[in-house]
Amino acid sequence: MTPDDRVGALLAWYHHTARPFPWRRTRDPWALLVVETMSQQTQIGRVLPKWEAWMERYPTPADCAGASPEEVLELWVGLGYNRRAIRLRAASAMVAADGWPTTVEGLRRLPGVGPYTAAAVACQAFGVQVPTIDTNHRRILSRWEGVALSGDTLDDASRRLLPTGLAEDWNQALMDLGATVCLPNPRCEECPVSPWCADPTVYEPPRPQGRFEGSTRQVRGEVLKALLDGPADVRALAATTGHDPRRVHEAVAAMGNEGLVQPDGERWAVVGSR
């Protein structure tokens, strides 16, 4: 059995079982940037309806760039990490003004676009032959290689194992394999490439994210949602959200530093609100 046999087995499995996401049927870089931004640290089941609503409201970067921050945040509510929405709007303005960069390096210059998102958009929209290295890549390739990969070793293995001319399907296949079969607790009996796996026990999971309930993320999200109804002071926000006024004050101060909200006298308001 050769590495080429593994490629064939993996892609045959993928073509038979691929999850039918609508963004897999487009090469529109805007549609792809939106979904990659939304899906950062967010379950794909929550992303799909938001992506569809977003693409209906803002089908082009120019449409998003012409919207106010308040309008963008209203549509984003429910996804969390609201800075992503503001950065996506900023990226849309750059693209509307200057056009699309078509390389990984060029895409990384857009606000909020990191290495994974740049690689994913470059590969799917512009055919750049580059691996899209995420948690799924890390887990699968570590098991294939028989050693826990990270950093440069993960990058080197991803590029070495990337089959020539097949980057888009390869990346999507690894994504689906990691999401459905090669899980943290792997289903090796269902794996189409188990004969090529050196050690399914080799995997060092990332540190788990803290609980959402009672977290700073929860406070920020609920405070921002309340402010979308109109300006309010800390006391009113605390009453509306049920959170301690000190935590509400910390939340609005932090969001103010990030450009999400701004002072309005003694009250706070979403940036760009009417």
Q: List active site positions.
A: 36
Give the residue carrying structure tokens 């050693």: 147
H helices of the chain, in order, are 3-17, 29-38, 44-57, 61-65, 69-76, 83-98, 104-108, 115-126, 135-145, 151-161, 167-180, 216-227, 234-241, 245-257
Partners of residue 270 on adjacent β-strands: 261
**Structure tokens that stand for 239 in this block:** 């009453």
Q: How far is CA 182 from CA 9, 82, 206, 265, in A?
A: 15, 31, 16, 54
Residue 267's DSSP bridge partners are: 264
Which amino acid would we find at residue 274? R
- The answer to whether 133 and 153 are in contact (CB under 8 A) is no
User: CB burial class (10 A; 0-12, 13-18, 19+) of residue 112?
Assistant: middle
- CA-CA distance, 31 to 132, in Å (whole number)? 17
